[in-house]
């Protein structure tokens, strides 16, 4: 015990011992650590999860995501950033903002489903009935192209006897399946370099 005095009063205090200083400087016990969040994600933490369902029954923009932490596998309906195109089985980035109560889906790592095309602004529209067609003609009135609707879908018909499709770059044709039919005559394929044909099975006569 030590005595400290001033002009008006005397105060008794106990100097801290070396044991008290060691106890104060010791690291916190595990019991004193903050509990792990129920989602297993601490603020600022980012991990990869799997989207199980991209359509919430009632809320738009919510995804059912599964991820693994020290707690094991967890599943939650999580909000996603606006404009993300997410499909079931996609691997997504899940992050926990420090000022938000739940994790957010912030991106798609990869996608096994086809990504939807971004919507285009409609500049003009021409409506055709079943018995109508859109025709493009040359200056002399000779028909060039006709567009109309059929039972199987839209038809683009070239109105001339012969026609050429030319462009400086590469021509790509993409569809679920493609049929090339020559009603009369042969089919020729000419190339200045190699001709490559790839497929699961290639059938020749």
- The pLDDT-based confidence of 19 (bands split at 50, 70, 90) is low
Task: Give me the percent of the chain exceeding a pLDDT of 90.
Answer: 25
- The pLDDT assigned to 111 comes to 63
Q: What is the 3-state secondary structure (H, E, C) of 95-158?
A: ECCCCCCCCEEEEEEECCCCCCCCCCCCCCCCCCCCCCEEEEECCCCCEEEEEEEECCEEEEEE
Over residues 106-129, the pLDDT tens digits come to 999 876 666 666 677 788 888 988
Mean pLDDT of 42-49: 87
Q: What are the C-alpha distances in Å from 59 to residues 80, 82, 134?
A: 11, 13, 43
DSSP class of residue 27? Answer: P
Over residues 56-87, the pLDDT tens digits come to 989 888 999 998 887 788 899 999 998 888 88
- The pLDDT assigned to 116 comes to 63
Q: What are the C-alpha distances in Å from 70 to residues 17, 38, 75?
A: 41, 11, 14
Q: Coil, strand, or helix at residue 24?
A: helix
Q: What is the pTM of this model?
A: 0.41
- The pLDDT assigned to 94 comes to 92
């Amino acid at each position: 015990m030590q005595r400290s005095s001033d002009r008006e009063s005397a105060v008794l205090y106990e100097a801290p011992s070396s044991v008290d200083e060691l106890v104060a400087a010791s690291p916190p016990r595990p019991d004193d650590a903050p509990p792990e969040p129920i989602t297993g994600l601490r603020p600022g933490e980012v991990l990869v999860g799997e989207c199980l369902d991209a359509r919430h029954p009632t809320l738009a923009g919510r995804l059912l995501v599964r991820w693994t932490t020290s707690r094991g596998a967890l599943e939650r309906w999580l909000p996603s950033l606006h404009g993300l195109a997410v499909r079931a089985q996609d691997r997504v980035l899940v992050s926990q903002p420090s000022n938000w109560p739940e994790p957010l889906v912030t991106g798609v790592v990869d996608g096994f489903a086809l990504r939807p095309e971004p919507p285009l602004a409609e500049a003009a529209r021409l409506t055709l009935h079943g018995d109508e067609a859109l025709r493009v003609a040359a200056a002399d009135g000779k028909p060039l192209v006709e567009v109309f609707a059929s039972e199987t879908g839209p038809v683009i018909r070239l109105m001339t006897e012969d026609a050429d499709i030319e462009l400086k770059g590469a021509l790509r044709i993409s569809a679920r399946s493609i049929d090339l039919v020559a009603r009369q005559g042969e089919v020729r394929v000419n190339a200045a370099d190699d001709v490559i044909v790839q497929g699961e099975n290639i059938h020749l006569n």
